Structure 1
């Protein structure tokens, strides 16, 4: 009997010791920087990796304040050895039934609470940034809820789109934690591609911060807010579209794969999806933004909304954007425009439910 209990204790202690390792193994793999998925495409054969922004691009960021939390995850140490980068492993061979950015806004199972440039706008944007508050909406199987920025462009019949922010996405990830997430549509990937999953797509360069990593500090309405700065901008020298947090380069989309000369549309806000006909998930903090309107009790927010125009990073023009909500009974957005200390700002969210269309 004593041997039995000792054996049980040994099994418990051993399994307790290895479980974090097993969990860690499913999150990402370290791969040679030149053997990551992006390089499994003929067009990338002679591609030279861009390890840092050009001097010209860095100059545009030099005046930006360091006001938000740095991007965080469950571990802050370098994840991979020298010469290797972390690549998130999806929970399955995930495919996305993507609808082009110009038509998703009318899909019955997709819901938006956003601000967007006017449809007849002729402006061109070289990128955008935002500081996102991080929440953990309750998302069920085959649902997602995102705090999101879209950079869209159409050239004749070709759609290009780079999208970024945080997402709780149970189709892509093994759990319901908020994670840094990107999505892109380009000449070689007209069905779209998440994170670093596609040949010829996104190139990962940072050894610690990567699409798919977890944000382990989550905001609570009325209490401490945890936020993160994310930016995507086109480097004027290399023409690549850089994903950054403040002045740190995370990775990029090569210019020959995403060759749009400026985005013609920008959206900022919240975005959810669930199976057609099912209950839609919460968005943001799960609260309507106008129900939590005190400055120290903010619902899910995006602030310091800026865009790249004329080789400068500037506050977005409030007269160039309009609010759009497809299901007001489930979600809402409040474009609060300029607020001292926060810049151009919006709050968004809602409880979800049986949403339908307007």
Structure 2
């Protein structure tokens, strides 16, 4: 009988250990040497220790919309980790990840100017001074061969600038092997706020993650054979709180509100933004070699042959969503030898991209 009790006790202990092991596995996922996701208590995530957020109350969902009741379907984003209720996925700030992010932050495009050293752009932005409350767009996503000292990306953005001071928020997709640790296309976010503070994703304190499944930054699914892919994203200010939310907009399933940048982080866009836009961008290597942009092809009469931006909408000062055709837009293209920009038809606002090269200018 003693043997039976000891055996039962042993099995219980093994069961508990295995259960703890399974919970531990659920709480973190390692993608590569640069990227580890940890499930963190939503009310104890690192961003909330920011000095400007000492009295900030976490907003669990925006007031401007609720997820649509749609038929479930495939999403262009991939849920790498589904955190337990009450927790959210946060990328662990390893030394290598932080160092790489700081390096690329210094080189990152300032969307409010077309004069950024080593950066080339192709896109549009509004010409009047707003105010604006957000932007929505669908961006085609492509696989590119990018070296470790280059970056290629496409994003939507909102921002304001005065004298030498700027505030802006961007989100979209990026290929940056040095930052992300592989050559895949990743979703990403970038912000710059009061006193010049800001960074990629959650490298520094600021962005408040709310979704337990959708991440601000994560690898996008590989392109299916003969298929196409795109992400539809938005940056929208909440009417009640003033926080700037980003949402993963889906066609066949409910939208997912990923999280937000609290208004307290900003001194120029806490109430509204003066400029909104959509842009394809690249960062050249120190040698001057510029990478491909979009899908690497110049725009042509074949709209499916190059990268495209479609379903673009802007949100005005009264929080009304309006089509981009109701605004006068400024075209931005600083290196026509290496990249192109072409007006689209119907829902496509523009096609863009090109092969890059070693004579694109600086």
2:106 is the alignment partner of 1:106: no
The worse-fitting range, judged by mean Cα deviation, of 226-235 and 108-117 is 108-117
Unaligned stretches of 5+ residues in structure 1: 1-17
1:109 CA drift (Å): 0.6
1:254/1:114 CA distance change after superposition, 3 Å:
same
Partner of 1:9: none
How do 1:1-358 residues align onto structure 2 when only pairs under 5 Å count?
Answer: 23=31, 26-54=35-63, 57-58=64-65, 70-73=75-78, 75=79, 79-89=82-92, 91-93=96-98, 94-95=101-102, 96-98=105-107, 101=110, 104-118=113-127, 121-155=128-162, 157-188=164-195, 190-199=196-205, 201-218=206-223, 223-246=226-249, 247-259=255-267, 260=269, 261-290=271-300, 293-295=301-303, 297-309=304-316, 310-317=318-325, 320-336=328-344, 339=346, 342=347, 344-357=348-361
1:265/1:357 CA distance change after superposition, 3 Å:
farther
1:333/1:69 CA distance change after superposition, 3 Å:
farther
When Rg is computed on C-alpha atoms for both structures, the one with the higher figure is 2
1:206 CA drift (Å): 0.6
- Structure-1 separation of matches of 2:334 and 2:73: 30
- Structure-2 separation of matches of 1:52 and 1:191: 25
1:87/1:345 CA distance change after superposition, 3 Å:
same
1:156 CA drift (Å): 5.3
1:319/1:52 CA distance change after superposition, 3 Å:
closer
1:176-224 CA-partner distances (Å, limit 9, x unpaired): 1111101000015x1531011212x11101111112211113277xx42
- Structure-1 separation of matches of 2:208 and 2:261: 6
| RMSD of aligned residue pairs (Cα, Å) | 2.9
TM-score where L is the length of structure 1: 0.81
- Structure-2 separation of matches of 1:179 and 1:203: 19
Partner of 2:4: none
- Report the number of matched residues: 321
1:66 CA drift (Å): 9.2
Q: Secondary structure at the match of 1:108?
A: coil
1:271 CA drift (Å): 0.3
Unaligned stretches of 5+ residues in structure 2: 1-24, 250-254
Does the 8 Å CA contact 1:179/1:211 hold for their aligned counterparts?
Answer: no
1:319 CA drift (Å): 5.2
